[in-house]
Every structure is written in structure tokens, then in C-alpha cells.
């Protein structure tokens, strides 16, 4: 490691006055900061040695000025003019050696530097100024070369993202990883569509997002804006603005945004523009889909993060209750059209909701309703709109939950209802959607039809009867079905089967012998009824 490199100075941070004073080549002179301590974080862009009475004419700003004090004017007015010129041009600091002309800094110089906020540093021992310039300039040039390499890596990374057709989530994630900052993509109504936190939690990044975003006023170009100092850039194409990407400052007092951050955010905005052009799905729909998946799969780090994420998308999370619904398009087609229709119905009804595709052919809906607002009429309205477009679709609803973090349960219930709804299942007489109360034994067994335990149970209970019918051409299975459907009434069963009572009695005895069961026992009739219903469900499927 280079001993002249300032301790803790990373490759992405500018060299400051404090960094230069910490260098061994200057520390040997026993530097003492006389004025301007709060300004030691000023960046140093160059070192300038001067013995002129008007050094400012050779400066551009950001220089650390080294002098032996020989050219300082004798009078106080001249000293003030000397300091004013340095401060006006933006010099980073003035370093004076107390070896030749002075052994303590003149009072006029101290007063003038303090008045202008210019750091004044004295050196008690002789220092080789030329060596100071060589060390500092080597560091500065090295930083510039590093910055150029990092900028090149930024361009290469985003070019690769664009060439492989990366989506907006990939672009924002890359920006957050490369910058080490939280990056957020929002739409024109200040809804946070994508958030990649870095150094912040989702709750910290998105809390009261709309209010904070509106306080960060719009503007052209990439710049730091608003009371929180966000670095923002517009995402637009041919004059049409689609949204804005924001890079948030660090939670702690870290370095402010630099030129590399500006370059990074500009390339992010460009990559998002390309992503929007090549990916037809609107950003809002992708954002809703991702938010729904996070809720369904419980991928949020905390309940607070979940609430902040949904609130930033415009979904109320306080003083509301929630209901999940699923739309299964059994034909697997028309998802985009159905989703658009759902959006339209929800906007017309003024119901805040999240809508998105959870899986191919399955749309998820999360309704946020006021506590006193009934949910069934809303789901009924949505179901009617869906069935008008896709008559074979199935709409299922979960139960109402009081907290956003419980919506995963409502979605699980809706999914169980959908799984227990076979094709062509008649709708309840009073509505056009299905819910948990609709699931009876037949639909429960339909949902479990692929479970090997159900299959084994059915086979164990009915195999001998089925084998007998196959070998002898009988139809005892139908006789058993009539008997069980008649709740054990032999007369009713005989009439339904078109049999005489004697024939019915004979067949029932044969069934009891083959199955080893007592058909007069209620529990054994129940076991056979479950097995026969499961068999009918599996055969129908």
C-alpha cells in the first residue's frame, strides 16, 4: 500500500483537505488548522505553490494553496484583499509555512480567513512543497483514472443489460447494486413501481412515498432535487415522459452524489426507456404482479415493509380490510383482455386494488375495502365482468382479513376453492363466484383427487366390487350407488335402479360378501360413500 494514500480513502471518494493534511508528507510539517475546521471536507482538485501577491489569477477553484508567507502584504487591507481573491475563486484551503518570514500567523490573515470561511493551516516545520504536489497530484490522477474505468464499467454493464433485453426490475436492481444506493422507479402519479433498497429497509425507502416524491419537484436533466436531496432523472422517449427514477441518499452522513452517480442514473434511465419499448407489459401491471407475489409468497422482510410497498402503489393499508380473489381462465387465453376489464371495473367502482397475473391463466386480485364496506357485491361485479369475456372462467374468493399481512391466508383459501371447482361446476344460485362455503364432500375430493392416499383408500374399499363387475358383467357398483344415495332405504334404491325388492336384497347381500362390510352400519356406509364419491370424481376427471 502507498504510505502517502490517505487512510480510509476509497476509490470512489474525492480527495479532501482533511485527506491531504493526513498525508505523511504534510503531517511531517506538524499542520495545525487555525480557521475553517467545518470546511475540511472540501474537495481538493489540485495543489498550487505560489509566492505571488495575486495568486488567484492563476487558479480555477478547488486548489490547495501552499506558500511560505513571503508574498503576503504588510498592511491588513492587503491581506484581506489577498484572502478575498482566494475565497472568491474557490480555493480549497491556504497552507502557510511558519519557518522563514513568520513564526505565528498574522492576526489580519487569521481574521480574514475566518471571515471568509477559508481553511487556514499552518506548518511548524519545513516541508518540501514540490514533494507535496507530486504525491497529491499522483493521487488525483490515479483517482481520475479509476473514475474513468468505473464509468466505462457502468457503460459496459448497461449496454449488456440492454442487449439481453433486461426488464425494468433487472435494470433498477443493477443500478442499486452498482451505486450502493436505494433506487426507485415511479410513474407520473408518484407511485413507486420498483424499489431496490440498499442500506435502507423498504419501509424507510418508501414511507409516505407520494408526499415525499411530490415535494421533490420535477426538472429537466439529472440533478439533485428536493428537501431530501434525491438524485433524479426522467424516463422518457421522443418527448413523452413515462416516469422518473430516483437515487436516494444514504441513511448516514456518507458522501454526496458524484459524477459517477449522475452517469449511472442517466444510463439507468436510458436502459429503462429501452426496456419499456421492448417489453409490452405496462410498468404498473408488472409492479402489481410483483407486489401480489410478494404477499402471496410472504417474501417481505417485515410487515412494515409490506405495508410501505403496497401503500407506495396506492393501496390503502390503514383502516381497511382485505379480500383476495382469483380468476382462473380455464382455456388459458384472454388474460390481458380480462385484466384490462378488471382494471376498468375497479376504477369505475372507485375500489383500490392490486391486480396481476400470478401464474399462466390465473389472475390475482387484492381488494382494499373500508371497514363498513361489504366485499361480496364488489366480487360479484368483477365476476360478472370476467364471465362476460370468458364464460368458462372460474372466479373464487377467500375470506375477509383485517390486516395486510394476513392476505396470504385469503389467497390460499381462494386457491383451495379454485382447486375444488371442476370444469362445468354449476354456480351457486345467488352469485357468479365460488367461496369456501361452497366446498362440499364431492368438491373436496375433487381437490384431493391426485393425492395417492385418497386413491389408495378408494381402491382398497371398492376394488373387489369393481373386479366382480368386470369379470361377470354385473353392475353392482351402480346398485351400491343407488343404495347409498337413498341413505340406506332399500325400497327407494330398488325403484331408482328399476329392480324388484328381492333382486335388490340379493344384490346387497352379494355386495356385503364381496366387500366384507355391513351395509346396515352407518359408519361403514359413510366409508363406502366417500370411496364411491372419490371414484366418481376421479373417473369424471
pLDDT in tens, 440-499: 898 898 888 888 999 999 999 999 999 998 999 999 999 999 999 988 898 998 899 899
Q: Tell me, what's the pLDDT at 313? A: 92
Q: Tell me, what's the pLDDT at 366? A: 96
Q: Tell me, what's the pLDDT at 146? A: 60
Calculate helix-pair angle for 452-472, 522-540, nearest 10 degrees: 90
State the DSSP code for 93: E
Question: For strand 394-397 and strand 320-328, is the pairing parallel, antiparallel, or unpaired?
Answer: antiparallel
Of 399 and 372, the structure prediction assigns the larger pLDDT to 399
Contact 268, 158 (CB under 8 A): yes
Q: How far apart are CA 379 and CA 387, in angstroms?
A: 12
Q: Where are the alpha helices (DSSP H) in 420-451?
A: 441-447
Contact 364, 296 (CB under 8 A): yes
Q: Tell me, what's the pLDDT at 174? A: 93
Q: Tell me, what's the pLDDT at 251? A: 66
Phi and psi torsions of 320, nearest 5°:
-135, 155
When pLDDT is cut at 50, 70 and 90, the band that residue 429 belongs to is: confident
Q: How far apart are CA 54 and CA 45, in angstroms?
A: 20
The three cell numbers of residue 240 are 413523452
Encode pLDDT of 380-391 as tens digits: 999 999 988 888
The three cell numbers of residue 516 are 366384507
Of 305 and 102, the structure prediction assigns the larger pLDDT to 305
Is the pLDDT reported for residue 46 higher than 60? yes
Q: Tell me, what's the pLDDT at 127? A: 81
Is the pLDDT reported for residue 9 higher than 50? no
CA distances from 440 to 118, 330, 393, 396, 417 (A): 83, 22, 20, 15, 11
Is the pLDDT reported for residue 4 higher than 50? no
**Total-model pTM:** 0.67
Q: Tell me, what's the pLDDT at 153? A: 80
Q: What is the dihedral of CA 116, 119, 124, 126, to 10 degrees?
A: -110
pLDDT above 70 covers what percent of the chain?
94
Q: Tell me, what's the pLDDT at 61? A: 83
User: In the predicted model, what is the mean pLDDT of the chain?
Assistant: 87
Q: Tell me, what's the pLDDT at 20? A: 82
Encode pLDDT of 203-218 as tens digits: 999 999 999 999 998 8
Amino acid at each position: 500500500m502507498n504510505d502517502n494514500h490517505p487512510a480510509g480513502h476509497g476509490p470512489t471518494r474525492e480527495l479532501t483537505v482533511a485527506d491531504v493534511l493526513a498525508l505523511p508528507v504534510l503531517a511531517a510539517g506538524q499542520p495545525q488548522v487555525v480557521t475553517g475546521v467545518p470546511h475540511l471536507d472540501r474537495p481538493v482538485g489540485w495543489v498550487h505553490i505560489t509566492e505571488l501577491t495575486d495568486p488567484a489569477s492563476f487558479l480555477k477553484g478547488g486548489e490547495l494553496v501552499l506558500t511560505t508567507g513571503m508574498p503576503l502584504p504588510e498592511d491588513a487591507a492587503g491581506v484581506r484583499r489577498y484572502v478575498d481573491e482566494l475565497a472568491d475563486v474557490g480555493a480549497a484551503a491556504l497552507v502557510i509555512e511558519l519557518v522563514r518570514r513568520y513564526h505565528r500567523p498574522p492576526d489580519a490573515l487569521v481574521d480574514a480567513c475566518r471571515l471568509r470561511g477559508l481553511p487556514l493551516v499552518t506548518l511548524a516545520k519545513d516541508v518540501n512543497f514540490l514533494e507535496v504536489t507530486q504525491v497529491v497530484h499522483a493521487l488525483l490522477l490515479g483517482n481520475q483514472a479509476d473514475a474513468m474505468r468505473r464509468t466505462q464499467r457502468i457503460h459496459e454493464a448497461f449496454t449488456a443489460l440492454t442487449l439481453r433485453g433486461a426488464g425494468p426490475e433487472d435494470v433498477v436492481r443493477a443500478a442499486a447494486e452498482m451505486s450502493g444506493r436505494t433506487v426507485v422507479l415511479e410513474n407520473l402519479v408518484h407511485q413507486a413501481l420498483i424499489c431496490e433498497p440498499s442500506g435502507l429497509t423498504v419501509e424507510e425507502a418508501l414511507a409516505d412515498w407520494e408526499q415525499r416524491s411530490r415535494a421533490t419537484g420535477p426538472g429537466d436533466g439529472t440533478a439533485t432535487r428536493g428537501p431530501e436531496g434525491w438524485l433524479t432523472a426522467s424516463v422518457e422517449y421522443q418527448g413523452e415522459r413515462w416516469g422518473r427514477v430516483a437515487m436516494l441518499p444514504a441513511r448516514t452522513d456518507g458522501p454526496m452524489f458524484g459524477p459517477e452517480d449522475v452517469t449511472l442514473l442517466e444510463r439507468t434511465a436510458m436502459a429503462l426507456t429501452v426496456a419499456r419499448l421492448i417489453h409490452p407489459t405496462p410498468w404498473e401491471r408488472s409492479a402489481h404482479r410483483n407486489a401480489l407475489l410478494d404477499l402471496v409468497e410472504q417474501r417481505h422482510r417485515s410487515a412494515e415493509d409490506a405495508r410501505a410497498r403496497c401503500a407506495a402503489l396506492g393501496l390503502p393499508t390503514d383502516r381497511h380490510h382485505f379480500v383476495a380473489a382469483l380468476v382462473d381462465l380455464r382455456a388459458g387465453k384472454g388474460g390481458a383482455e380480462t385484466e384490462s376489464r378488471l382494471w376498468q371495473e375497479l376504477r369505475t367502482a372507485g375500489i383500490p386494488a392490486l391486480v396481476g397475473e400470478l401464474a399462466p391463466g390465473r389472475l390475482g386480485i387484492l381488494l382494499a375495502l373500508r371497514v363498513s364496506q361489504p366485499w361480496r357485491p364488489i366480487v360479484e361485479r368483477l365476476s360478472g365482468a370476467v364471465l362476460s369475456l370468458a364464460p368458462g372462467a372460474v372466479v373464487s374468493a377467500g375470506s375477509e382479513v383485517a390486516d395486510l399481512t394476513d392476505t396470504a391466508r385469503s389467497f390460499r383459501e381462494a386457491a383451495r376453492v379454485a382447486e375444488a371447482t371442476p370444469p362445468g361446476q354449476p354456480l351457486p344460485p345467488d352469485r357468479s363466484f365460488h367461496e369456501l362455503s361452497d366446498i362440499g364432500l364431492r368438491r373436496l375430493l375433487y381437490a384431493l383427487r391426485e393425492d395417492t392416499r385418497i386413491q389408495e383408500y378408494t381402491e382398497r374399499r371398492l376394488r373387489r366390487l369393481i373386479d366382480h363387475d368386470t369379470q361377470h358383467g354385473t353392475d353392482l357398483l351402480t346398485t351400491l350407488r343407488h343404495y347409498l344415495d337413498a341413505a340406506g332405504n332399500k325400497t327407494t334404491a330398488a325403484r331408482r335402479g328399476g329392480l324388484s325388492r328381492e333382486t335388490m336384497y340379493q344384490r346387497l347381500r352379494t355386495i356385503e360378501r364381496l366387500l366384507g362390510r355391513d351395509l346396515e352400519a352407518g359408519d361403514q356406509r359413510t366409508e363406502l360413500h366417500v370411496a364411491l364419491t372419490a371414484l366418481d370424481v376421479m373417473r369424471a376427471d
